[in-house]
Amino acid sequence: MLPTLVRRRWTRLSTRNLKPTWKLFTGDASSSGRTLARGVSSGAEKISKERVDAVVIGAGVVGLAVARELSLRGREVLILDAASSFGTVTSSRNSEVIHAGIYYPPNSLKAKFCVRGRELMYRYCSEHGIPHRKIGKLVVATGSSEIAKLDLLMHLGTQNGVSGLRMLEGFEAMRMEPELRCVKALLSPDSGIVDTHSLMLSLVGQAENSHATFSYNTVVLSGRVEEGKMHLLVAETGSFESRCEGVAELELVPNLVVNSAGLGAQALAKRLHGLGHRFIPSSHYARGCYFTLSGAKSPPFDKLVYPIPEEGGLGVHVTVDLNGVVKFGPDVEWIECRDENSSSFLNKFDYGVNPQRAERFYPEIRKYYPDLKDGSLEPGYSGIRPKLSGPKQRPSDFVIQGEETHGVTGLVNLFGIESPGLTSSLAIAEHVANKFL
Ligand SMILES: Cc1cc2nc3c(=O)[nH]c(=O)nc-3n(C[C@H](O)[C@H](O)[C@H](O)COP(=O)(O)OP(=O)(O)OC[C@H]3O[C@@H](n4cnc5c(N)ncnc54)[C@H](O)[C@@H]3O)c2cc1C
């Protein structure tokens, strides 16, 4: 049943350039001697197998960038996403900021990919007409006790190769932004904003033009390593949800699998039999809520304004999107969730914004924006950070692992792609293609 469905969907969704080269696997497809992964049944006695070249699991901004890069380099790429469209999860629930690369430890993947990704992002946006603006950012110290932290950020940013950083006295920063109150500020002229949806739409188009194929509503339930190759078991998301169990409907046998499942990357990895669990980092989830500013005739700031970073996040900052909507956030709220339940596996998180959280936002924001009016904050949206470190732990880096780490041929796992994942997306894609093709 599903093989037809999936093939039909490939045909329908890949409106252009559908290659007739997706081959039905005609080898021994019998299930004899085949062990299905734990928690997954074949449903039918036999399920069809199909060989594919490269499978990208997850059509968020990172998966899309990877899919585009692989397909531009001549690989036949199939992108699977459990949701009904691209970018419905963390990639559409963030600040849409192109970060400069200030915050991250030198030589970390976050520092490297953020700096390189920012360059690639500005170039890509200019070349492809993606709405974006390099509006610059001020990281502000609102009391003398914070100045040392600002100095540290300046030092980190410089070590990371971020150019143009400048320490400003409070009066200089307040001259730039009259609504601002601070004692010192770090100016980052290369920070900016981007229309994430347009960016993702463009990546989809580019991937499709290079013959990539998208299959939405398709969940990867599990996988296993057999004779040195990954086998993925997939099903329609709807049938998975309605039966509350994984009944595989099709088996894919790709040469390359990129697990770019964001919040669900570890949950999925745990279902890939043959991948040692010691290679799967623990997951931590931190919700961040946004409030929008209402009743203001114009945005109070031209630049992005960030306080000193807090544990788990960059602090309740101000961003303005390309439509002029002013947003404050995100805060940090640690969420208890186990990878084994459907919250992380199918992204069933609670994204509601409790209006009462505004009470905590007002004092935080007034430290640098004292004229914020009572009642001016309205609940916006929230996003959840796919973190690898929990409260009170040292912040973790991105984890990108291939065969050299875990020993499974053709499997690349992307774990902990939190901020600055949007900024880094094109650089992560470049790295994956350079290293694993
Ligand atoms: C509050 C917040 C603010 C942020 N602000 C910024 C910012 O300003 N700048 C910046 O650079 N970064 C920012 N980030 C980080 C950035 O948003 C993420 O790093 C980026 O969106 C991650 O993209 P992704 O493709 O890895 O994941 P996602 O966008 O989550 O995509 C993963 C996809 O995988 C699919 N999936 C999951 N499991 C399966 C499965 N088993 N089978 C099939 N499909 C599956 C999901 O449906 C989803 O579509 C922020 C993040 C948060 C939470």
CATH of the domain at 265: 3.50.50.60
HEC states along 74-120?
Answer: CCCEEEECCCCCCCCCHHHCCCCEECCCCCCCCCCHHHHHHHHHHHH
Distance CA 437, CA 435 (A): 6
Centre of ligand 1 from the C-alpha of residue 296, in Å: 31
For atom 2 of ligand 1, the residue with the nearest CA is: 94
Centre of ligand 1 from the C-alpha of residue 111, in Å: 18
Residues 288 and 159 in one domain: yes
Averaged pLDDT of the chain: 89
Centre of ligand 1 from the C-alpha of residue 384, in Å: 8
DSSP secondary structure of 333-380: EEE---TTSHHHHTT-------GGGHHHHHHHHHTT-TTPPTT-EEEE
Whether 323 is covered by a domain: the verdict is yes
Residues 82 and 225 in one domain: yes
Which H or E element spans position 193? strand 192-194
Q: Which atom of ligand 1 is closest in space to residue 261's alpha carbon?
A: 34
Q: Is pLDDT of 335 > 60?
A: yes
Centre of ligand 1 from the C-alpha of residue 89, in Å: 6
Whether 56 is covered by a domain: the verdict is yes
117-120 long-range Cβ contacts below 8 angstroms, 24+ apart: 117/420, 117/423, 117/424, 117/425, 117/426, 117/427, 117/428, 118/190, 118/423, 120/426, 120/427, 120/430
Distance CA 37, CA 251 (A): 12
Residues 414 and 290 in one domain: no
Whether 157 is covered by a domain: the verdict is yes
Q: Is pLDDT of 26 > 60?
A: no
Pocket of ligand 1 (CB under 6 A): 57-63, 80-83, 88-91, 93-97, 99, 219-220, 260-264, 268, 288, 330, 347, 383-385, 417-423
Centre of ligand 1 from the C-alpha of residue 424, in Å: 12
More confident position, 207 or 312: 207
Which H or E element spans position 279? none
pLDDT at 12: 36
Residues 304 and 382 in one domain: yes
pLDDT at 419: 97
pLDDT at 313: 83
Q: Phi first, then psi: what are they for 382, rounded to 5°?
A: -140, 160
330 preceded by a cis bond (ω within 30 of 0): yes
* Best probe residue, ligand 1, of 86, 94, 340 (max atoms within 8 Å of C-beta): 94
* Residue 152: CATH number of its domain: 3.30.9.10
Q: Is pLDDT of 232 > 90?
A: yes
For atom 41 of ligand 1, the residue with the nearest CA is: 220
Q: Provide the pairing of β-strand 132-133 with 192-194.
A: antiparallel
Tell me if residue 140 falls in helix, strand or coil: strand
Residues 376 and 299 in one domain: yes
pLDDT digits (tens, 9 = 90+) for 67-121: 999 999 999 999 999 999 999 999 999 999 999 999 999 999 999 999 999 999 9
Centre of ligand 1 from the C-alpha of residue 109, in Å: 17
* Best probe residue, ligand 1, of 419, 423, 426, 431 (max atoms within 8 Å of C-beta): 419
Centre of ligand 1 from the C-alpha of residue 170, in Å: 36
Centre of ligand 1 from the C-alpha of residue 291, in Å: 20
Residues 175 and 288 in one domain: yes
Residues 202 and 350 in one domain: no
pLDDT at 201: 98
* Best probe residue, ligand 1, of 88, 91, 102 (max atoms within 8 Å of C-beta): 91
For atom 37 of ligand 1, the residue with the nearest CA is: 261
Residues 202 and 78 in one domain: yes
Whether 107 is covered by a domain: the verdict is no
Residues 288 and 324 in one domain: yes
Residues 184 and 252 in one domain: no
Whether 111 is covered by a domain: the verdict is no
Confidence of residue 44 (pLDDT cuts 50, 70, 90): very low
More confident position, 28 or 418: 418
For atom 21 of ligand 1, the residue with the nearest CA is: 91
pLDDT at 53: 97
Q: Is pLDDT of 64 > 60?
A: yes
Which H or E element spans position 155? helix 147-159
Centre of ligand 1 from the C-alpha of residue 54, in Å: 20
Q: Work out how many domains the chain is built from and give that number.
A: 2
pLDDT digits (tens, 9 = 90+) for 356-383: 999 999 999 999 999 999 999 999 999 9
Residues 254 and 294 in one domain: no
pLDDT at 244: 56
Q: Residue 292: give the domain boundaries.
A: 134-190+283-387
Distance CA 72, CA 13 (A): 19
Distance CA 364, CA 78 (A): 45
pTM here? 0.92
pLDDT digits (tens, 9 = 90+) for 234-287: 999 987 776 656 688 899 999 999 999 999 999 999 999 999 999 999 999 999
Take residue 14 and report the two structure tokens written for it.
């890949």
Residues 169 and 230 in one domain: no
Distance CA 78, CA 208 (A): 10
Whether 427 is covered by a domain: the verdict is yes
